[in-house]
Amino acid sequence: MQPRRIAADVVVIGAGVVGTGIARELSRYDVRVVLVEKQADVAFGTTKANTALVHAGYDAEPGTWKARLNVRGNALYPKTCADLGVAYKNCGSLVVAATENEAGYLHELKERGERNGVPGLEVIPREQVIELEPHVNPGVVAALWAPTGGITSPWELAIAYAENAVANGVELLLSAPV
């Protein structure tokens, strides 16, 4: 079979949650975008095994693009999900320490997160962890509480991004390895 030639200003390779999100954002501008996926549908790769966590941004190295974009992206999730009809829950997140040594690392994560601009981070004691998460291992020592952490369905979000991008003029090519 002869390859099909397609004109595009931007080609996005991969229709997981990242690729579909990029395609959706680009669909807002006057550019011809083609989204290419080697699988039979969107969200068939890594996205289908994603943990669904919307990270608060405490783990990235301060000053990096990842740190800046993680915190900014986290703040966009509630509105983006609402706009696309995808469930989003701002439930916060816990990084649990099972030993005193691990508890010391929580303070490093908190400091890193604060340097990244993550609001509301707290290292909380065992009692407060159990109050927030009653089914946690009873051997818990402490936890880093990140109130801006959340969850969403990565595959539903990828599908919604792709549908919106296509509705806005993006061409989606499935079963199209590059």
In 3D, which of 115, 26, 109, 116 has the Cα closest to residue 70? 116
Q: What is the pLDDT of residue 4?
A: 76
Q: Enumerate the active-site residues.
A: 55
Q: DSSP characters for 14-59?
A: --SHHHHHHHHHHTTSSS-EEEE-SSSSTT-SGGGG---EE--S-S
Q: What is the pLDDT of residue 43?
A: 96
- Please tell me the distance from the alpha carbon of residue 6 to that of residue 20, in angstroms, as a whole number: 19
| Residue-range domains of the chain with CATH | 1-51+153-178 (3.50.50.60), 53-152 (no CATH)
According to DSSP, the residues that pair with 145 across neighbouring strands are 94, 122
CB atoms within 10 A of CB 48: 15
Each residue of 81-116: pLDDT tens digit?
Answer: 999 999 999 999 999 999 999 999 999 999 999 999
Mean local confidence (pLDDT), 157-176 = 98
Each residue of 61-90: pLDDT tens digit?
Answer: 999 999 999 999 999 999 999 999 999 999
More confident residue, 33 or 50: 33
Q: What is the pLDDT of residue 1?
A: 61
